[in-house]
Chains A and B, each alone.
Chain A
Amino acid sequence: MSDVERISGGDDVALVDLVDRLIGGGVVVGGDIVLSLAGVDLVYLGLRLVLAPAHRVDVAALGNAVNRP
């Protein structure tokens, strides 16, 4: 039995893992708008905290919908 999961993308991907990558990672190619939105990085830590509970609620709701007999 293996505890290693292979996730191929799509909705299996936790939003927090995505945000960590999409706002915390990736290459930055400066343009006027990108630079003016650099402050987005500053709110990123706050956003990380907001995201998880919201996402958990969604998952629970989805689970209930799927499991309903």
Chain B
Amino acid sequence: MSGSGDSVVHAYGVVGAAEPVTLPMTGIGRTLVRLVELGELSIIAGDLPASTYGEAAWAEHAQDPAWLEPVARAHHDVLQSVVEHSDVLPLRLPGIYPDEEALTGAFTASREELHERLRFVCGCREWSAHVFLSAAEPEEPAPAAPASGRDYLLMRKQKVEQKGSSRQARQELATEVYEGLSRSARASVVNLVQDRALSGRSEPMLLNSAHLVARDEEQDFLAVAVELDRYVGAAGGLRVEVSGPWPAYNFAQAGDEARTSGGRT
């Protein structure tokens, strides 16, 4: 099919050639999934019709959730099924190449870096943590009527300060969650929090982080998460939610973990 122009090659991820990998039968658009071998690495790939998934289709539909959702889910499902049993380096979308020659050319040029990155995530999977404020802001008792304009202003000022300090206290608790989880992880990153429209939740999100956890330390990581959830729940009405295991999307690119030190450079 190489270079025919009717199809493009989509790359899902990279695995070590020495490791046995069980692939799902099909991926995006129910097309077959196969391995392209490249020395010590194998690329999980598939041929897709260019008219539906080629460059022009991406340029036209990338912002359309109805088009993107099935593509994203199918890409993820392939990687998710591989990461259940094997180490895999997930590729960012869009991962399309005009033909197999272009695919192997691009991957050959990045071979060293890919190999190093695969070693970095070796034996680990990604876990995500979200910290939410679990209840709405506590009701404040009705204030006594201020005796004077000066009293009123004083009261307003105290109220604003209280609000600020409780917000700061909650943020510090969220930071404690991040640090606690990071101690049980090989690497950790902080991502942008999702605003309420995006998370679909009425409660504000205070932390959105990803952690690279060794497979045999996942139970410990989860135990720490449960403990932190209890602690910040009691101390500040926060809730810790963990999801995973994910393919290591947040740790696939060299330098990803440097995002952790965002505030301390």
Contact = CB atoms under 8 A, between A and B. Distances in A.
Interface of A: 2-7, 9-11, 13-34, 36-37, 40, 43, 46-56, 59
Interface stretch (B136-144, B149-157, B159-167, B244-252): B244-252
B65 A40 contact: no
Interface string B1-38: 00000001001001000000000000000000000000
A16 B62 contact: no
17 contacts: A3-B233, A4-B240, A6-B242, A6-B244, A7-B243, A14-B199, A22-B92, A25-B92, A27-B14, A29-B110, A29-B114, A34-B95, A34-B97, A36-B55, A47-B65, A49-B197, A52-B199
B56 to A, nearest CB: 10
A3 B241 contact: yes
Contacts of B40: none
Contacts of A5: 241-243
Given A30-B109, A56-B200, A17 B243 contact: yes
Given A21-B246, A28-B92, A50-B65, A33 B253 contact: no
B198 to A, nearest CB: 4
Interface in B57-93: 58-59, 62-63, 65-66, 68-69, 72-73, 75-77, 80-81, 89-93
B133 interface: no
A33 B63 contact: no
Interface of B: 8, 11, 14, 54-55, 58-59, 62-63, 65-66, 68-69, 72-73, 75-77, 80-81, 89-98, 102-103, 105-107, 109-110, 114, 117, 128, 191, 194, 197-200, 210, 222, 225-226, 229, 233, 239-244, 246, 249-250, 252-253, 256
Given A25-B249, A55-B65, A37 B58 contact: yes
A28 B254 CA distance: 10
Given A27-B252, A28-B92, A33 B98 contact: yes
Contact of B77 (A10, A30, A51, A55): A10
A19 B90 contact: no
Which of B8, B54, B77, B95 lies at the interface centre, i.e. has the most chain A CB atoms within 10 A of its CB? B95
Contacts of A26: 90-93, 95, 249, 252-253
Contacts of A13: 73, 76, 243
Nearest to A45: B192
Contacts of B72: 15, 18-19, 22
Which of B73, B96, B198, B243 lies at the interface centre, i.e. has the most chain A CB atoms within 10 A of its CB? B198
A29 B38 CA distance: 14
A48 to B, nearest CB: 6
B65 A54 contact: yes
A46 B198 CA distance: 11
Given A4-B240, A22-B76, A49 B198 contact: yes
Contacts of A53: 197
B96 A21 contact: no
B62 A29 contact: no
A11 B128 CA distance: 17
B26 to A, nearest CB: 15
